[in-house]
C-alpha cells in the first residue's frame, strides 16, 4: 500500500456475463470453456520470491508481455492485492482505454483482495512497516517518520494544487469506465485497508452499473484471506473466473 514497488506474475492457463448472484462452478467441464490469463498485481510486502518485482513505471511492459507470449487474444483477468496493486491497476486501465495496441485486449473481470483503500495514514504506515521489517530498526523508524511527514504535507497542504493535474487512484477507480465484473474480497479486521473504504467502492461501482460482488471475511488480516480460509477463498475466485468466461 505504501510502496510503489509491485509484484506481478502472469498465469497462462466473451465479454463477461456475471451477475451479483454467485454462479456455481461447473468444474471446468463445459465444452469450449477457455481459461483466462490471470495477472496478479501484488503489494510491496509480498515475500514470494517467484514473483518478479517491477515499478509502476513498467505498467506498459506488463501488457506487452501478453504479445511476447502470443496470448493477447486470450480472456484476461486481473487479481489485484492491496493498494499497491490497485495503483498499478489504475495505470493499466488507462493504457487499456487509450493505447491503440492494448484497447482490443479482452478483459473479462477483476478480483480485488484487501483493497482499494482511501487515504489512511495509519494503515499506510503499517503497510510500509511490513515492507521494511527486515531493515535496521533505526533506518526503518526514520523512513516511517519521513513518509508520514510527506503524506501529511501532500494531503493537507498541497492537495488543492495536486488535484489540478492528478486524480487520486481511489477516486479514479470509482469512476473508471471499465464494465467487466468485479469481485471484492476484504475483512473488517483489516487494519491497513479499512472495510468501509472497500464497501464505499462497491457502492460506487454498483452505481456505475458494474456487476459487483463483495465478500467480508470478517476476521482475517490484510491480504491474509487465502491463508485463513483457503478452500472458501479458492472457490470464490474459481467460480468468479468461470462465470466471467462462460458467455
Give how far Cα 72 sits from Cα of 12, 67, 69, 101, 148, Å. Answer: 11, 5, 8, 10, 41
Q: How many beta carbons lie within 10 A of that of residue 146, not counting itself? A: 10
Q: Is residue 153 part of a domain?
A: no
Q: Is residue 36 part of a domain?
A: yes
Q: Is residue 41 part of a domain?
A: yes
Measuring CA to CA, which residue among 178, 183, 243 is closest to residue 209? 178
Q: Is residue 14 part of a domain?
A: yes
Whole-number pLDDT of residue 87: 84
Whole-number pLDDT of residue 202: 97
What letters, b where the CB count within 10 A reaches 16 and e where it falls short, cover 11-36? eeeeebebeeeeeebeeeeeeeeeeb
| Sign of the dihedral through C-alpha 100, 86, 15, 241 | positive
pLDDT in tens, 149-161: 776 666 666 555 5
Cα separation, 210 vs 181, in Å, equals 6
DSSP string, 133-169: TTS-HHHHHHHHHHHHHHHHIIIIISHHHHTTT---H
Look up the pTM and report it: 0.73
What is the domain range of residue 79? 5-120+169-245
Q: Are 76 and 107 in contact (CB under 8 A)?
A: yes
User: Into how many domains does the chain fold?
Assistant: 1
pLDDT tens, N- to C-terminus, the chain (247 residues): 333 333 444 444 433 334 333 333 334 444 355 678 999 887 555 555 444 444 455 567 888 888 988 889 899 999 999 888 898 899 899 899 888 889 889 999 999 999 998 866 666 666 666 666 778 888 777 876 776 677 666 666 655 555 544 467 888 899 999 999 999 999 999 988 999 999 999 999 999 999 999 999 999 998 999 999 999 999 999 999 999 988 6
Domain CATH code at residue 182: 3.40.50.1820
Cell matching residue 181: 465484473
Q: Is residue 115 part of a domain?
A: yes
Q: Where are the alpha helices (DSSP H) in the chain?
A: 59-68, 82-98, 121-131, 137-152, 159-162, 169-174, 195-207, 225-228, 230-245
Q: Is residue 109 part of a domain?
A: yes
pLDDT in tens, 205-242: 999 999 999 999 999 998 999 999 999 999 999 999 99
- C-alpha atoms less than 13 angstroms from C-alpha of 209 in its C-beta half-sphere: 1
Q: Are 44 and 85 in contact (CB under 8 A)?
A: no
- Angle at which helix 121-131 crosses helix 82-98, to 10 degrees, equals 100
Q: Is residue 151 part of a domain?
A: no
Q: Is residue 141 part of a domain?
A: no
Amino acid at each position: 500500500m505504501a510502496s510503489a514497488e509491485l509484484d506481478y506474475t502472469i498465469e497462462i492457463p466473451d465479454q463477461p456475463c456475471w451477475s451479483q448472484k454467485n454462479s456455481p462452478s461447473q468444474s471446468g467441464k463445459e465444452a469450449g470453456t477457455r481459461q483466462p490469463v490471470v495477472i496478479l498485481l501484488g503489494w510491496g510486502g509480498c515475500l514470494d520470491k517467484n514473483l518478479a518485482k517491477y515499478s509502476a513505471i513498467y505498467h506498459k511492459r506488463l501488457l506487452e508481455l501478453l504479445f511476447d507470449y502470443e496470448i493477447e487474444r486470450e480472456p484476461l483477468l486481473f487479481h489485484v492485492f492491496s493498494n499497491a496493486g490497485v495503483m498499478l491497476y489504475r495505470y493499466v486501465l488507462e493504457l487499456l482505454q487509450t493505447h491503440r495496441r492494448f484497447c482490443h485486449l479482452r478483459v473479462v473481470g477483476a478480483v480485488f483482495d484487501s483493497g482499494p483503500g482511501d487515504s489512511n495514514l495509519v494503515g499506510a504506515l503499517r503497510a510500509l512497516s511490513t515492507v521494511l521489517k527486515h531493515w535496521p530498526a533505526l533506518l526503518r523508524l526514520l523512513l516511517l517518520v519521513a513518509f508520514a511527514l510527506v503524506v501529511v504535507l501532500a494531503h493537507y497542504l498541497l492537495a488543492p494544487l495536486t488535484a489540478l493535474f492528478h486524480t487520486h487512484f481511489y477516486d479514479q477507480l470509482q469512476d473508471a469506465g471499465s464494465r467487466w465484473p468485479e469481485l471484492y474480497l476484504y475483512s473488517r479486521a483489516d487494519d491497513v485497508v479499512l472495510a468501509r473504504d472497500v464497501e464505499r467502492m462497491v457502492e460506487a461501482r454498483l452505481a456505475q452499473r458494474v456487476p459487483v460482488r463483495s465478500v467480508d471475511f470478517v476476521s482475517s488480516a490484510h491480504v491474509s484471506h487465502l491463508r485463513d480460509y483457503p478452500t472458501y477463498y479458492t472457490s470464490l475466485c474459481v467460480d468468479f473466473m468461470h462465470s466471467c468466461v462462460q458467455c
